[in-house]
Amino acid sequence: MDYFHEESVTKINSGLNSVIYVICYIGMIIFGLFALQGLASIMNGIINISNIIFMLVCGGLAYGCFVLKNNQRIEYDYTFTNGILDIAKIINNSKRKKLLSVDIKDFEVIAPISDEGFKRMLHHKGIQKRYNYFLNRGPRLYYGIFTQDGVKSMLVFEPSDKLVELFKIFNPRNVKTK
């Protein structure tokens, strides 16, 4: 029997996220127009260092607003297929970036962050990589300790109850529930 489950974790948008999104969108347009104005003056033969610096600064600010705007709309996709957990980041509903793929059998523990072992593992010197793939803080957060390619790592994420039950099928001794 094949096991497949996919879920998306979206950020609970606060009013602040929406305000930042709109401000960045407006700033991107304004700074982009200023950068184009600086480029136009350079193309018309008015070449001096202040025009070049003005164009580069406004272009950089427009790009910074673009990146900040897109980072207000982030979600994570958790895909579970026959014991393999794949995590991808979706930026602004248009760009998908694969972040992690790990076999559930490689996990030493998967437990809620309310578990007593979480605080101990946060400061454990043997953990070399930390993956924080969650958007909302709260009681739904889980952590997992696994070794991949000889590197001991910690994953903090927010799976649904169904996903945790699927983890238990493939690694029953090491998955704790609430």
In a domain, 178, yes or no: no
Residues 97, 58 within the same domain: no
Domain containing residue 33:
15-70
Place of tokens 């580069």: 56
Residues 165, 89 within the same domain: yes
In a domain, 48, yes or no: yes
In a domain, 92, yes or no: yes
Note whether 73 and 12 are within 8 A (CB). Answer: no
pLDDT band at 81 (very low <50, low <70, confident <90, very high): very high
Note whether 156 and 132 are within 8 A (CB). Answer: yes
3-state secondary structure 10-43: ECCCCHHHHHHHHHHHHHHHHHHHHHHHHHHHHH
Please give the average per-residue pLDDT across 163-170, as a whole number.
93
Residues 52, 111 within the same domain: no
Boundary of a domain, candidates 25, 41, 70 = 70
In a domain, 64, yes or no: yes
Quick check: 162 pLDDT over 90? Answer: yes
Residues 102, 152 within the same domain: yes
Residue with more model confidence, 42 or 64: 64
In a domain, 114, yes or no: yes
Counting the structural domains of the chain, the total is 2
Q: What is the pTM of this model?
A: 0.80
Angle at 136 between CA 132 and CA 139, to 5 degrees: 95
Residues 102, 162 within the same domain: yes
- Return d(Cα 61, Cα 47) in angstroms, integer: 21
pLDDT tens digits, 84-118: 999 999 988 888 999 999 999 999 999 999 888 88
DSSP letters, 85-119, are EEEEEEETTTEEEEEEEEEGGGEEEEEETTSHHHH
How far CA 98 is from CA of 23, 70, 104, 173, in Å, comes to 29, 17, 17, 28
Q: Which two tokens stand for residue 150?
A: 């000889």
In a domain, 49, yes or no: yes
Instruction: Produce one character per residue of 153-164: b if its CB has 16 or more CB atoms within 10 Å, e if not.
Output: bbbbbbbeeebb
Of all residues in the chain, the percent with pLDDT exceeding 90 is 62
User: What are the residues facing 131 on neighbouring strands?
Assistant: 155
- Return d(Cα 114, Cα 133) in angstroms, integer: 17
In a domain, 177, yes or no: no
